[in-house]
Each structure stands twice: as structure tokens, then as C-alpha cells.
Amino acid sequence: MIDVNFQLKGSAITVVVLAIVRYEPKSLLAELKEKVVQAPQFFNNSPVLINLDRLENPESLKKLGDLLAICRELDLQPLGFSGVPEVLLAAVNKTGLAVLPTPSERALKLPKQEAAPQAVEAVIERVVETVVETVIEERLVQRQSKVVTRPVRSGQQIYAEGADLIVLAQVSEGAEVLADGHIHIYGTLRGRALAGVKGDETARIFCQQMEAELVSVAGNFVLQDSLPKELLKKPVQISLKGEKVVVEALVSN
């Protein structure tokens, strides 16, 4: 019997990132509603991270309550903000929602410590040796793969943390597969596939039969209605070019 009051566990969840470039309440509501209507099951009660990194008119967002109301009106659940400009930081903190770092802000800033003068030469030698050893090791390291042999059924979620994901069966509608690396599906993809979930823009998705609800690479996603009609039910590969998700026929030689 567990004699503690709580447990802390890690979990992988799909979060929609709403990156606002220009804030105009009426047009934002209309455009967002149009997108939600395309895939209501995906967006229903979906957690949303509001990104303000590229916001052109921060002065228009003094009333953050209106923005949160727009999201909730469409059954989206704001969980926090990222890329918050300095001018909006106080207003964001008043909402009580989390302020999350962007990928570029996640690097640890360790305090600098001055080395003793007599130890400087030895430190330099050790650093040079460490760099050489690290380069050699990185060339030998290969990314691991997680292999799933059974169908991924509706409601299931499979996540390959720090690895590629290989599914030797179908991914059913309502199921979700995620990987930090590439995703290979040797069957029909009817659910959702998200590759490079920690920001790897070189990640790709390969599948034998494309019927996906949603595909995503490094946070950039495409819904079923936007997939090329001529490639439905055919072998495809999905990659990222700039910020655009590209779906192409998978041609074998």
C-alpha cells in the first residue's frame, strides 16, 4: 500500500500551439472557428498554448481576458503562454496561467565561476581533450527505435521518447502516435501522427496508406481536409520545409 499523498509522473500530451501574429478579435474568432470546424473531435477541449513570440501589435492585447474568452468559446482550453514580450508580462501573470519558455529559452544558464590562475592551463587542456572525445562519441551514437507490432486502437497513445517510432500495423481513427524522431507506419494511418515533437524539424512521417486525421512535424500540423486528395489511401512521406508541412508520394525504385 502506498503511504504518500501524491505521485509525480511525466506524461506526453498533444497541445495545440496558437501562434498569434496579429491580434484582431473579430477576425481571429472567425479564422479560428473555421479551423476548429474542420476537425471538431481534435479541437474539442484541446489544451492550447498561446505563443506571442511573433506578435506584431502587442499593444492590442492589453485585455488578455478577451483572448482567453475567444478560445473558451470554441471549447479550447488555454493552459499557458510562451514567447511573452516584456510589455505583456505583467498582464499575462495576472491571468494565473503558466508562462512557458520557448525552445531557445530552455538552455540552462549556469553561473560563471572564475578558475584559479594556477589551474587555467590544466582546465584548457581538459576542455580540449573533452571536445575531441565528445565528437568521436557522437559519430558512433545512433538514435534508438521503438517498435509496435500490434494495431494502435482508438483512444490509445504511443510515444517514442528520444527515438524513432515504427508501427508494423494500422493506426486507427482516434488513436495517436508520437515520436521525438521519425515515424514509420507499415499500415493504414487513420488517426494522428506527430513526429519531431520536441522540435526536430528534420523528422519525417512515412506511411503505407494515408487517411490521417492529422499529421504534424515539429509542431506544424495539417488536418485531413487539407491533405492532397490525390494522395489519400496511398503511400506517402511527410516532411517540413520552412514552416510548411509537405505531403509527397512515397515512390519506390
Is the fold of 16-103 the same as that of 144-249? no
Domains in the chain: boundaries: 16-103, 144-249
Contact present, 160 and 140 (Cβ < 8 Å): no
Average pLDDT, the chain: 82
- Cβ-based neighbour number of residue 193 at 10 Å: 28
pLDDT of the chain, 253 residues: tens digit per residue: 567 778 777 666 777 888 899 899 899 999 988 888 877 767 778 889 999 988 988 888 878 899 999 999 999 999 999 999 989 999 999 999 999 886 656 554 545 555 455 555 554 455 444 444 444 444 444 668 999 999 999 989 999 999 999 999 999 999 999 999 999 999 999 999 999 988 899 999 999 999 999 999 988 888 888 888 999 999 999 999 988 899 999 876 5
Place of cell 488517426: 191
pLDDT number for residue 41 = 66
pLDDT number for residue 69 = 93
pLDDT number for residue 135 = 44
pLDDT number for residue 124 = 45
- Joined together, the cell numbers standing for residue 207 give 506511411
Using N-to-C axis directions, what is the helix angle for 25-38 and 64-73, rounded to 10°?
Answer: 30
Tell me how far apart the terminal alpha carbons of the chain are, to the nearest angstrom.
58
Query: How many whole angstroms separate alpha carbon 59 and alpha carbon 32?
Result: 21
Query: How many whole angstroms separate alpha carbon 207 and alpha carbon 184?
Result: 6
Domain 144-249 bears CATH identifier 1.10.150.120:
no
Burial string for 1-40 (b: 16+ CB within 10 Å, else e) reads eeeeeeeeeeeeebbbebbbeebeeeebbeebeeebeebe
Place of cell 512515397: 250
Contact present, 183 and 158 (Cβ < 8 Å): no
Read off the amino acid at residue 123: V
State the number of CA atoms in the 13 A half-sphere of 174 facing the CB: 5
What's the CATH number of domain 16-103, 3.40.50.740, 3.40.50.1820, 3.40.50.970, 3.30.70.260?
3.30.70.260
